[in-house]
Amino acid sequence: MSGKVRFVIDNYKEAFEYLDLKRVFFNTMIVCLVNTFLNLFLNALSGYAFARLKFKGRELTFKFIILSIMIPGTVMTIPNLIICRLLGIDDTLLVLILPFTMSVYNVFLMRQQFYNLPKELEEAAILDGAGPFRIFFQVSLPLVTPMLVVLGITTFMRNYNNFLWTLVSLQSPENFTLARSLGDLVSAGNSNPSFYPIMLAGSVIVSLPLVIQDNIPKLAVKPTLNSPLTYEMFRLIVKDNMDEIHFIEYDAGALVEGTFYFDLRELGRKGIWYDILLEYKTAANRYDLLVENAVDINQQITVNGKTYKFEEWEGLLEVHWKE
């Protein structure tokens, strides 16, 4: 068989019509965006409560929540469907949103993020008169933005790819999402071989957001590969006036400008710090030297085009950097 391979757009036109792309795309975006927002907001609140608020039964409740991960999601499909029918939200877009507003996995990750934040930041906000909600929204939440971005992407794509639940909970075509409509298109293609090219064209259309999502990390990381502050872990090496060497690690996140803190109080003594070395963890999982011989903490150093300023405040070593 010979001849040139040519691109035929007719199959894509028929796939557009069969999928009713405008309607199902609108439904999909409503479900994904609303679900992602509610999921991040509620899970961040829950994670913060388990990490910072003290209430009776906190640890026991958190353990029960973590144990629920052992229950496969498919086991809960029929019970969830029965509950949704009792609530009268089956065969609506709400049936795709409400059951997925909470995620044990997301609660656990947000709890760990808030738990690792320095308590001194919140204590300083309390001294300034900030209440719990202001501390959450203006102090703690901005510091966990990288995790929110990651969970936002994964939550969005999980809802985008949700086929099994749409299959059992939706009957009306006007409420179908892309995943459900593509399932019907695949069934039609399997039963009718002449429909196969249209099925493949529809699969390409629906998979475009997945291709974009897979390339987001590459686009985000590539411009900063040469930056010494691309990586997440920093290590402070302190040799005190007693010639003892101490190591402190800090997870600063994938930041390129900002402030992070080392708690020197855990070293057990105060005094004149003889020598300070700051290292960063590379992609090769080893530490490279970033700043050395910072004899005077309250000083400013420029290395590789970046300016670092070291300040000590009540036992906390603040490291500020900017381009």
Where do the domains of the chain lie, and which CATH numbers do they carry?
A: 10-222 (1.10.3720.10), 233-322 (no CATH)
Per the CB < 8 A criterion, the answer to whether 122 and 137 are in contact is no
Q: Could you give the CA distance from residue 178 to residue 161 in angstroms, rounded to a whole number? A: 8
Check residue 290 and give its pLDDT: 53
Check residue 224 and give its pLDDT: 38
Cα dihedral 212/218/223/229 (nearest 10): 130
Check residue 123 and give its pLDDT: 86
- The DSSP element (H or E) to which 136 belongs, if any, is none
Q: Could you give the CA distance from residue 246 to residue 286 in angstroms, rounded to a whole number? A: 18
Check residue 155 and give its pLDDT: 93
Residue position matching structure tokens 């009540």: 314
Check residue 125 and give its pLDDT: 86
Check residue 225 and give its pLDDT: 36
Q: Could you give the CA distance from residue 186 to residue 189 in angstroms, rounded to a whole number? A: 5
Residue position matching structure tokens 């959450």: 136
Per the CB < 8 A criterion, the answer to whether 164 and 74 are in contact is yes
Structure tokens at 107: 């609660």
Block mean pLDDT (10 aa), the chain, length 323: 66 85 92 96 94 90 90 88 92 93 91 88 86 89 90 91 91 91 83 81 84 63 40 59 62 55 59 53 53 54 65 66 64
Check residue 229 and give its pLDDT: 40
Residues 6+ apart with CB under 8 A from 52: 114, 115, 122, 140
